[in-house]
Amino acid sequence: MENYRIGFIGGGNMARSLVGGLIAGGVDGGRIRVAEPDPDKRAELAQRYGIETAADNAAVAGAVDVLVLAVKPQVLRPVVEGLAGHLGHRPPLLISIAAGVRAASIQRWLGQPQALVRAMPNTPALVRSGATALYPTAQVSASQRDHAESIMRAVGQTLWIDDERQMDAITALSGSGPAYFFLFMEALEEAAVELGLEPAAARLLTLETAQGAARMALSSDDSPATLRARVTSPGGTTEAALAVFAQGGFNALVARALQAARDRSDELATLLDRDHGA
């Protein structure tokens, strides 16, 4: 990575994960600054990562080349409006990781179009196994795209999209997706206990099976359908279980669930705009 300076507005869990991932990847802590109102959090961040911290958002924003907006969606507007006029003659690239806040809203709060990347990370980013979709505004240069991708890759994989409207579907898939897998793991554990396994054994086998299946899928060029077929012997136990899923309309249920999440994502973004005077 080039020696550009990286700032964060907000020192919460996602910002901490990004800072930790960047430093683990070789970024000098001296290139990172975090604005955080809580003095205890500032002290902990500075001690743990060897970075600069400040209470003033503008002080950080005016001293970096890339600024990550790592605050909750409900408080993003006052934060962004407070930064307007403090970004200098060469404004930094802005990366917003606030879920559901559209790029046009942020541009409007800034008072003028600026280079902005909207990012949609998911919670596995907290353990550096995230999946992040990235959407750039027209003002983002090729080098700024590289910077945004490098930063978000510190916590997992990245994917660029050209149509921001896809963010609602991405939110439904990868943003909410971890909860779907947790739900399935929860159901497997409960069913296994009902079949007579000890809870600790049911949990271990569930988690290791989930991890193993994900690793197999990641390491293979074959589709999930092909991988599923390979472990499904005719007349065997797996086939019997899969038949029950099919009888219950499993695929259709998953489709309806994602549609509901996508629609709700769009609704929430619209409500957020309305509440913020769009």
Classify 55 as helix, strand or coil.
coil
Q: Do domains 6-164 and 175-260 have the same CATH topology?
A: no
CATH number, domain 6-164, options 3.40.50.300, 3.30.70.60, 3.40.50.720, 3.40.430.10:
3.40.50.720
**Tens digit of each residue's pLDDT, the chain (278 residues):** 468 999 999 999 999 999 999 999 999 999 999 999 999 999 999 999 999 999 999 999 999 999 999 999 989 999 999 998 888 778 999 999 999 899 999 999 999 899 999 999 999 999 999 999 999 999 999 999 999 999 999 999 999 999 999 999 999 999 999 999 999 999 999 999 999 999 999 999 999 999 999 999 999 999 999 999 999 999 999 999 999 999 999 999 999 999 999 999 999 888 877 755 44
- Cβ atoms within 10 Å of 9's Cβ, excluding its own: 25
Q: How far is CA 29 from CA 10, 33, 138, in A?
A: 17, 8, 30
User: CA 50 to CA 118: how far, in whole Å?
Assistant: 27
Residue written as token pair 């430093």: 23
pLDDT at 275: 57
pLDDT at 112: 87
Per-residue pLDDT tens over the stretch 121-134: 999 999 999 999 99
What CATH number labels 175-260? 1.10.3730.10
Q: Where are the domains of the chain?
A: 6-164, 175-260
Per-residue pLDDT tens over the stretch 177-197: 999 999 999 999 999 999 999
Phi and psi angles of residue 73, each rounded to the nearest 5 degrees, phi first: -55, -35
pLDDT at 278: 41
Residues 6+ away with beta carbon under 8 Å from 199: 189, 193
Phi and psi angles of residue 71, each rounded to the nearest 5 degrees, phi first: -120, 165
Q: How far is CA 269 from CA 54, 124, 176, in A?
A: 30, 23, 15
